[in-house]
Amino acid sequence: MNVGKKWGKAVSVVSLAAWMALAAGCSSSGQSGSGASDAGAKSDAGDTGKSNKAVNLKMMWWGPDARHQATLKALDLYTKQNPNVKFTPEYLAWDGYWTKLTTLAASKSMTDVLQMDGAYIQDYAKRGLLEDLSSIDLKGIVDPKIIENLKINGKLYGIPLAHNGAGIAYNKVELEAAGIKLPFKDWTWDDYFAFAKEARQKLPKDKYPISDGSSGWDSYQFYQTSYGKGPMMVDGTKFNLDKDLWYKYQQTYAQFRKDGVVPPAEVQAAFKENDPRPTRWLPAQ
């Protein structure tokens, strides 16, 4: 499984993008870590459940407790439907996960099924650490366009479980009340920045139209790709940072900080990503 580590964030505007994938690990012999990944792949195609052969799949993922509990329930449900298939789960926080996976990869003993991040999957596939799952029939389950987009050198190394798009969310009532021009379809970054400037002039001083996007690579990556410069990472191993665009982006936010368009550092730091509790500088909903 793969889930993007972070969500993009803003005050009146929120960006969100993530993709999920299921990957199977390989041992030094090129087979799955415990000899069960092939069976796991077949189970997704509907084969393992028809067999009486006992299968124990080691599965590893990262995330918060809510994801752990949901995944464990899903595994229990699968075992109830396919009694011959059991799972040995291991779940960690983000940092601990990658520390552990790096060690397992070095010793060629990765788990049979693992969560893989989009920033690293190309590197792991290139090193021969992931199984080719192209033979699994995903018709009617996953959009073929998504499958093609996720292939690496024509092969599929992760099965996507979900697909989220990037978008914006804003408080229409409050923006209209303040006389601020609403976001519209096919916004450009210049339009976004113009919105921020106008909103700063019309919103109360203790409310900010956008957050400080200069602190996260994800926001900048959207900016760079919108100029046709490609993603920040190529092949999972090489950085592709456009220097001129980077400086332009950072200078824009530096000016926003001077003009009070974005919240000051102490307020920005108080924002907890994915925190369900409202913060005082979010517009009233």
Residue 130 sits in a domain whose CATH number is 3.40.190.10
3-state DSSP assignment of residue 23: strand
Task: Say what the pLDDT of residue 167 is.
Answer: 76
Final residue of a structural domain among 119, 134, 164: 164
If you compute the radius of gyration of the chain from its CA atoms, what whole number of angstroms results? 22
pLDDT higher than 70, residue 16: no
224 falls within a domain: yes
127 falls within a domain: yes
Residues 152 and 50 in one domain: yes
| Residue 206 φ/ψ, nearest 5 degrees | -90, 10
Final residue of a structural domain among 129, 164, 199: 164
Query: What is the average pLDDT across 248-258?
Result: 95
Residues 160 and 204 in one domain: no
Which domain range does residue 96 map to? 18-164
282 falls within a domain: no
1 falls within a domain: no
275 falls within a domain: no
Residues 189 and 255 in one domain: yes
pLDDT-derived band at 230 (thresholds 50, 70, 90) equals confident
Task: Say what the pLDDT of residue 102 is.
Answer: 95
Count structural domains, the chain.
2
Query: What is the average pLDDT across 183-207?
Result: 93
pTM over 0.95? The answer is no
Residues 39 and 125 in one domain: yes
Average pLDDT, the chain: 79
pLDDT higher than 80, residue 242: yes
Helices then strands, counting H and E runs in the chain, come out as 10, 7
Residues 67 and 151 in one domain: yes
DSSP string, 68-116: HHHHHHHHHHHHHHSTTEEEEEEEE-HHHHHHHHHHHHHTTB--SEEE-
Question: What are the residue ranges of helices labelled H in the chain?
Answer: 37-45, 65-81, 94-106, 121-126, 144-150, 172-177, 189-202, 217-226, 243-259, 265-270
Q: What is the pLDDT of residues 129-182, one digit of tens each?
A: 999 999 999 999 888 888 888 898 899 999 887 777 777 889 999 999 999 999
pLDDT higher than 70, residue 196: yes
214 falls within a domain: yes
Task: Say what the pLDDT of residue 28 is.
Answer: 43
Residues 226 and 98 in one domain: no
Query: What is the average pLDDT across 245-259?
Result: 95
Residues 104 and 184 in one domain: no
pLDDT higher than 90, residue 19: no
280 falls within a domain: no
Residues 142 and 209 in one domain: no
Residues 194 and 248 in one domain: yes
Final residue of a structural domain among 110, 143, 164: 164
* Better-scored residue on pLDDT, 79 or 282: 79
199 falls within a domain: yes
Q: Which of 280, 285, 282 is nearest to 173 (CA)?
A: 285
Residues 157 and 216 in one domain: no
273 DSSP assignment: T
Residues 113 and 204 in one domain: no
pLDDT higher than 90, residue 103: yes
Residues 213 and 261 in one domain: yes
Query: What is the average pLDDT across 246-263?
Result: 94
